[in-house]
Structure 1
Amino acid sequence: MSETALLVIDMFNTYTHPDAEQLADNVVEVVDPIAELVARAAERDDVDLVYVNDNYGDFTATHSDVVRAALEGARPELVRPLVPASGSRFLTKVRHSAFYATPLDYLLSRLGVRRIVLTGQVTEQCILYTALDGYVRHYDVVVPPDAVAHIDSQLGEAALEMMRRNMKAELSKSTECLP
């Protein structure tokens, strides 16, 4: 059992949506820090790794389908470094929060998790709403700003400040956020 979980949120994206280019430009900066966090978590027994990704409205999609679609999308180089190892925990979601209509809270409680480290995209959307849902469920929330990608830089900064101030989130570098 671990008290910390690393959540990788929505990194399997086809980058074919209207704001994809702007988002992808920012994802370029966070792929390596997230990949390094994933590698560190995979080496440790005291950190649980959980991928949570949008199913993009396809309720027949398995996690393999979601990853494959992203690898066949417009920016596979942003996806390849984060492809989950076989047997990884992978949940699909349908809305912004990784908690909404998913078994994430149940999984985390079964694992004994009290602290969640949020990485991925989009800072001002899915990361923000997941942080809020984690906070109201009494998890300690950690967000490494160098491991989350925004679409709009001002909204991304505002979201980080909201998480820090309103949700008591710890904002720390990706190299410092795993105990």
Structure 2
Amino acid sequence: MAKTALVVIDMINTYDHDDATLLIPSVEASLPAVTALLDHARRRDVPVIYVNDNFGQWRSHHGEILGTALKGPHADLVRPVAPDDASLFVVKARHSAFYETPLSYLLSQEDVEHVVLCGQVTEQCVLYSALDAHIRHLRVTVARDAVAHIYPDLAEAALRMMERNMGARISFAKDIRF
């Protein structure tokens, strides 16, 4: 059976951006499923890899990104999904978890052939990450209730595209087995 990793996209966030007011309700709704996936993956010793924007802070690192988010007004959205000591962390600059990051190398070092994606934003970073995983011949599963969106209609279209065009499995978090 292929080794799986849980990839948590952009959940360490200050929500200090233009679309935050549209995004926050969806993040709140997705938190229970994201935390359930994290708990399940950690119990099964599945690699948990956070891939997160650096928000243009080119001197930042994962500890600083997390610390800033936990000091912000929306720490309640970050605290439940914060990385633990065993979590891996990749900093990205834009959209895809793979674009100009060491994620491909990390996954190959861990012998991962299947990624489960959760996080935000469904119609942007999750979609682009799923495409980049697909073109790298990785199997992709997206936890539909563990991804947050800005625009519901675009999120549904993105999930359909991932399923139809990339062969991604779209599933509820409770149905994902590591």
Q: Give, in whole Å, the separation in 2 of the partners of 1:178 and 1:15.
A: 31
- How high is the TM-score relative to the length of structure 2? 0.96
Q: Are the aligned partners of 1:124 and 1:155 in contact in 2 as well (CA < 8 Å)?
A: yes
Identity of aligned residues (%): 50
One-letter amino acid matched to 1:50: I
1:96 aligned partner: 95
Are positions 1:164 and 2:160 aligned together? no
1:83 aligned partner: 82
1:28 aligned partner: 28
SS at match of 2:119: strand
- How high is the TM-score relative to the length of structure 1? 0.96
Poorly superposed stretches of 4+, deviation over 6 Å: none
Unaligned runs of 5+ in 2: none
Q: Give, in whole Å, the separation in 2 of the partners of 1:3 and 1:105.
A: 14
Of residues 54-63 and 118-127 in structure 1, the stretch that sits farther from structure 2 once superposed is 54-63
1:125 aligned partner: 124
Of residues 16-25 and 122-131 in structure 1, the stretch that sits farther from structure 2 once superposed is 16-25
Are positions 1:13 and 2:5 aligned together? no
Unaligned runs of 5+ in 1: none
Q: Give, in whole Å, the separation in 2 of the partners of 1:82 and 1:91.
A: 15
CA RMSD of aligned residues (A): 1.3
State the Cα deviation string for residues 66-125 of structure 1 (Å, max 9, x = none).
111111223111101011112420110001000011110001011111110000000000
Q: Give, in whole Å, the separation in 2 of the partners of 1:130 and 1:10.
A: 11
Are positions 1:73 and 2:75 aligned together? no
Q: How many residues align?
A: 178
CA deviation after TM superposition for structure 1 residue 61, in Å: 0.7
Q: Give, in whole Å, the separation in 2 of the partners of 1:145 and 1:87.
A: 25
